[in-house]
Amino acid sequence: MNLVQIEIKDHICTLKMNRADKLNALNWDLIEEFTESLKSIQKECIQGNIRVLLIGSTNSKAFCAGADLAERIQMTEEKVVDTLKKLRILADSINAIPVPTIAVMEGVAFGGGFEIALACDLRICTPQSQMGLTETSLAIIPGAGGTQRLARIVGESRAKELIFLSKRLSAAEATHLGIVNASNESPWVQANLWAKELTTKGPLALRYSKEAISGGIDLPLHEGLDLEHECYLKLLSSHDRKEGLVSFIEKRAPSYKGN
């Protein structure tokens, strides 16, 4: 059985973790298959075949419960370090996908599972969802980017509170803090509505918007503005920019090609 299921339709890629009986607990094999899948998805994005990536689960009870602790306790310290590196590569690979990424969070998302969601651009959950970086209760810390990505979303002080206390956030709390963009009883319906809307936008515009925001957020303002300008210039001679202007004048829907 594949531990990751992938479907591509109408420029929307849906990737679902499929270790349902273990609530998608991140063992070595799942991390490896997930990471390899992202390599193929990255290529499809660059070729223009994928314009949006949705990441979720085949199990509505859990987006991802976190590390597979039953496997982890059997590991040597060296193997733990290797696993941690692989999990960080996985999260970084999600972050590096050049198209908008949406985490569809049904059920729980703890530890490494929450770190996967934090590596996405947008997050949708159910009203019943719970999430958090709960590692300090196990005498460890988040190790796949959680301390850094959460702090960039909610700020240093709030991130310290949530991580120090191993706080389990409700959907309402996560939405209030700006961690989750939307809470919906049918998160896949909402995510697909967003995805379909995103496919109507200029693919290059989305790509360079993402590059400008993600790449500039930690730069001094003047450097961030320079990055924004560089990204804008990359669009000047594109077919899509001209198509956007012409379609507006002609009062019709644009036909963007991603070039």
Domain of 209, CATH number, reads 1.10.12.10
Q: Does residue 40 sit within a domain?
A: yes
The token pair at 159 is 């991130």
Say what angle helices 146-154 and 156-164 make with each other, to 10 degrees.
130
Q: Based on C-alpha coordinates, what's the Rg of the chain? A: 19
Same domain, 24 and 90: yes
Q: Where are the beta strands (DSSP E) in 44-121?
A: 52-57, 62-64, 101-105, 108-110
Q: Catalytic site residues?
A: 67, 112, 115, 135
Q: Does residue 148 sit within a domain?
A: yes
Report the C-alpha gap between 8 and 33 in whole angstroms.
17
Same domain, 191 and 217: no
Residues of the chain with pLDDT under 70: 1
Determine the pLDDT at residue 238. 95
Determine the pLDDT at residue 96. 96
Q: Where are the beta strands (DSSP E) in 87-245?
A: 101-105, 108-110, 122-125, 130-132, 169-170, 182-183
Question: Collapsing DSSP states into helix, strand and coil, what is residue 193?
Answer: helix
Same domain, 123 and 76: yes
Domain count, the chain: 2
Same domain, 64 and 29: yes
Residue entry with tokens 């490494």: 112
Read off the pTM.
0.94
Same domain, 235 and 181: no
Same domain, 140 and 232: no
Q: Where are the beta strands (DSSP E) in 21-146?
A: 52-57, 62-64, 101-105, 108-110, 122-125, 130-132
252 secondary structure, DSSP code:
S
Q: Does residue 237 sit within a domain?
A: yes
Same domain, 66 and 140: yes
Structural domain harbouring 136: 4-198
Same domain, 108 and 211: no
Determine the pLDDT at residue 1. 62
Determine the pLDDT at residue 41. 97
Q: Does residue 171 sit within a domain?
A: yes
Report the C-alpha gap between 45 and 23 in whole angstroms.
28
- Widest CA span in the chain: 65
